């Protein structure tokens, strides 16, 4: 009598999705708040300079930050009205609304 084979296991999908509106808003806010230079100076050990860079970035771009947050909120409200949430697919990454 031949031995039985094990049942094949189901594998999870190897893909993930990101929210396009949230990702765009986060990138815009990080650019407006001068996060890149703040992290760079923090990695060099200058914590005070890092916090000063964030402070000046945020205070000088207050209106841009508020506009980004408002447009992201409106975009998310409008995106709920679309029936198809996926915008693009690049390999395992799916960009959705």
Q: What domain range includes position 59?
A: 18-96
Residue 90 has pLDDT above 90, yes or no: no
Cβ–Cβ under 8 Å, residues 69 and 25:
yes
pTM over 0.75: no
pLDDT of res. 87: 65
The answer as to whether 1 is a domain residue is no
| Cα 49 to the center of its chain, rounded Å | 26
Which one has a higher pLDDT value, 20 or 88?
20
Looking at the structure of the chain, the number of domains it has is: 1
The answer as to whether 26 is a domain residue is yes
The per-residue pLDDT for range 64-84, each reduced to its tens digit, is 999 999 998 888 877 776 656
The answer as to whether 3 is a domain residue is no
Q: What percent of the chain has pLDDT over 70?
A: 84
The answer as to whether 91 is a domain residue is yes
CB-side neighbour CA atoms (13 Å) of 61:
19
Residue 35 has pLDDT above 90, yes or no: yes
The answer as to whether 84 is a domain residue is yes
Average pLDDT over residues 78-97: 68
The answer as to whether 27 is a domain residue is yes
């Amino acid at each position: 009598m031949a031995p039985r084979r094990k049942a094949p296991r189901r594998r999870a999908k190897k893909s993930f999705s990101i929210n396009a509106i949230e990702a765009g808003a986060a990138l815009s806010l990080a650019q407006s708040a001068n996060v890149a230079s703040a992290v760079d100076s923090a990695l060099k050990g200058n914590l005070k300079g890092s916090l000063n860079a964030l402070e000046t970035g945020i205070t000088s771009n207050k209106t841009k930050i508020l506009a980004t947050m408002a447009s992201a909120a409106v975009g998310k409200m409008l995106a709920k009205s679309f029936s198809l949430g996926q915008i693009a697919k690049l390999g395992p990454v799916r960009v959705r609304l």
